[in-house]
Chain A
Amino acid sequence: MPKVASRRVVLQLAALAATFAAAPLVGPAVAADPAQLVQNTAQQVIEIVKTKTGAARQAAILGVLQTSFDMPAMARSALGTHWNQATESERARFEKAVATAEAKAYSERFGQYGGQTLTIGKVTPRANGVTIVDSRLNQTSGQPIKLEWEIRNDRITDVKVEGVSMVMTRRSDFNSYIQNNGGKVEPLVRELEARAAR
């Protein structure tokens, strides 16, 4: 079975290369991996959205997030400087609540989507171990959406939608909430847990 799956991926990549010959796709062998990671993740999510709904979908999305994304690193960056003052248990609870919140957000987000395709563009490996994968989400109507993926150690660490970084936005959001609630991490964790339980 894995053989078939990988052949399918190769075929998809070949098809992509054929249709978007203009885009510099999969140059050096090193750069092929991140592009494939993004492509596989997108494929998995599309498959989940097609076959699952409700709680099952959310659970499946959470699975994808935990395998393809570096959730602990994303949570840490989202908390920014407040990470240092959080206790060990707060950190653990925070990570869990953020993962749940993301899974919920994604499963609802894609619930309204339909018929989109992702085309991988330029892959830019950087000296500091981060690789940027540019891509475009083609909609059934309207302009394609610009998506940039940041990959470190074979895990996705950030997604930018039209230049808006998820992690950055979360960081500002959380930071402001913490500052308006006594400068403590605890209220934020409680709020996120309450939202997750809803």
Chain B
Amino acid sequence: MIGVTRAIAASIRRSFILVALSGLLAGGCASGDTGAAEVWDPLETPNRFIFSINRAVDIIALRPLAVMYRDLVPDRAQTGVRNVLDNLGEPVTAINEVFQGDPNRAATTMARFLVNSTIGVAGIFDVASSFGLERTKEDFGKTIGLWAGVEPENGGFYLMLPAYGPSNARDATGLMMDYLVDPFRILTFNLAIDWDVWQIGRYGLNAVDYRSRTIFALDDLEKNSVDYYAALKSAYTQNRADQIREKREKTNARAELERRDNLALVR
């Protein structure tokens, strides 16, 4: 597994060199710019095409559903749903925390999972938090980002995934890995029961729940940008970089401040 991580990290490093090279070839017109301003997007045309389809689906189906969910479902029910979905995601988080080199945190996450699955009635109630076991959310994209020796703004090429939305080489790989190691998916697959229906329900509910919590931010971004695709690309990249940087900062507090200095000097 670590070998795979290394390989991915290496490929990202390689792609970084490619970016640097192409930057040089382009005549260095963006020489003063830093990673976050210009996201590498060689697939821009197909990405924009998928983005337009995603938006159509969003406008017709997902957003209205999310709005109804947000406004009509009682808050406590929403919290319950959120907790159940989060609880199902805990094993994947724990696995990632092991790969991030934090077995203690992974143990806490598993403890949360056991407590909430039993006392918390299949995860409906987040009892573990009241025991002082705080929730974390990790994914393989962050794990790769933590070990890849590049700026977290550089996640390889930008990728607009159908239905899922903004991603990049790093995070899409991470998404695939998370899907593969997910014990609940393996369980339903191996037992060959039609629990697949439950899985689809889970992913669907996750989508609606997540969309309902991003309505405000995405509406705002769309309304206040002249090129929504470009603004979303930048915002996504920065947000993910921030999450990865937070992970890195635990071991390297100085790096962030130095990066900020460099940024300020560039401007």
Contacts and interface: CB of A to CB of B under 8 A. Distances in A.
Interface of A: 73, 77, 80-81, 101, 105, 108-109, 112, 124, 126-128, 130, 132, 141-142, 150, 152, 160, 162-165, 167-177, 180, 188, 191-192, 195
A164 B245 CA distance: 13
Contact of A169 (B32, B235, B261): B235
Contacts of B243: 163
Nearest to B33: A80
Given A77-B267, A150-B264, A172-B230, A164 B242 contact: yes
28 contacts: A77-B267, A80-B33, A81-B33, A109-B220, A126-B264, A130-B264, A150-B264, A160-B238, A160-B242, A163-B243, A163-B245, A168-B36, A168-B234, A168-B238, A169-B235, A169-B238, A171-B37, A172-B231, A173-B227, A173-B231, A173-B234, A174-B226, A175-B37, A175-B230, A176-B227, A176-B230, A188-B226, A195-B226
Interface in B210-237: 213, 216, 220-221, 223-227, 229-231, 233-235
Contacts of A160: 238, 242
Chain B, interface SS category: helix
A142 B267 CA distance: 35
A126 B238 contact: no
Interface of B: 29-30, 32-33, 36-39, 75, 213, 216, 220-221, 223-227, 229-231, 233-235, 238-239, 241-243, 245, 257, 260-261, 264-265, 267
Contacts of A191: 226
Contacts of B230: 172-173, 175-177
B30 A81 contact: yes
Contacts of B221: 169
A126 B242 CA distance: 19
Contacts of B239: 162-164
Contact of B37 (A132, A163, A172): A172
A136 B85 CA distance: 26
